[in-house]
Amino acid sequence: MLEISGLTAGYGGVEVIHGIDMTVETGETVALLGPNGAGKSTLLAALTGTLRRRGGKATYDGADLCSLDSHKIVAAGLRLVPEGRLIFGPLTVKDNLRLGALKLPRGGGRSVEERFDYVYDLFPRLKERSTQIAGTLSGGEQQMVAIARALMSAPSTLLLDEPFLGLAPIIVGEIQSALGALKKEGLTILLVEQKLDIALSFASRAYVLVKGRIALAETSEALLKRDDLSTLYFDLAEDA
């Protein structure tokens, strides 16, 4: 379970997120909505060890995320698929995936080979392209590599930062169905999105982050029932 309370973080002299409270239960799919510059990526950076917190608390299954280095957070089972994918362009697809498995917990019947089978099953295209240089793939395929790479260490929670940004609709559909399969398996997912429809159809609950603060927290069902949803979302964005 991911628990965040009063978390404050920022870059240099600028505080970007101010006292975030948030919870993601084990097995839950939660969306984090918000316009550009709301602080979504900053929050993810603070949760994954690349940005030091200024105040508040964030724990994952009881472990204090703010005191752990990135590689220990990965080992704890919390993985981020970053915005912009950040795949290793000069390496092959297979090498990218193999690097994803560096923190695969030993034992539990899991092996690197088993993980390869698992992600190739999820994204059959990657199996075809396994020896290709990752930088030569299409944007959508690169996003598949990014997600598959994160799944290689058999994480218990996946943080996805705008995975559909700039992708062709057909690929978006493919990735959505893969994420749907992960959800069905019971993987805990926090999906960061700008687009309401995608996020709310996928997640059971949603937080709306505006200018570094949580402006709204509702179940997707409740949110979708509100007629004024789009207006509300954009108003919040402009007001705050």
Partner 1 sequence: MSDLLELLVSATASGCVYGLVALAYLLVLRPTGVVNFASGEWAMMGAFAAYVLAGMLEVPTVVAIPGAVLVLAVIGWATEWFTVRPLVERGAGHLAPILALLGMLVIYHQATLLVFGGENYPLDGPFGFNRVELGPFAGTSQSFFIIVMTAVIFVAVWLFFERTVWGKSFEAVAINRRAAALMGINLRLVTALSFAGGAAVAAMAGLLDGPRGSVEVNAALPFAVQGFSALIIGGINRVEGAILGGIILAFAEDLTRRYVPIPSGLALGVTPVLLIAFLLVRPTGLLRAKEAG
Contacting positions for partner 1 (CB under 8 A): 48-50, 69-71, 74-75, 79-80, 82, 86-91, 95, 98-100, 102-103, 133, 135-136, 149-150, 153
Q: Give least dist CB 150 to partner 1, A.
A: 8
Considering the complex, what minimum distance in angstroms separates the CB of residue 203 from partner 1? 22
| Residue 227: exposure state from Cβ atoms within 10 A (0-12, 13-18, ≥19) | exposed
Q: Which is nearer to partner 1, 22 or 44 (CB)?
A: 44
Cβ-based nearer residue to partner 1, 87 or 237? 87
Shortest spacing between CB 60 and partner 1, in angstroms: 14
Q: Which of 85, 210, 109, 29 is nearest to 117 (CA)?
A: 109
Question: Residue 155 or residue 212: which is nearer to partner 1 going by CB?
Answer: 155
Euclidean distance between CA atoms 77 and 70, whole angstroms: 11
Smallest distance from partner 1 to CB 56, Å: 21
Distance CA 159, CA 114 (A): 22
Q: How far is the CB of 198 from partner 1 (least distance, A)?
A: 23
Q: Select 45 or 223, whichever has its Cβ closest to partner 1.
A: 45
CB burial of residue 192 (10 Å; 0-12, 13-18, 19+)? buried
Closest to partner 1 by CB, 82 or 140: 82
**Contact indicator for 158, 190 with CB cutoff of 8 Å:** yes
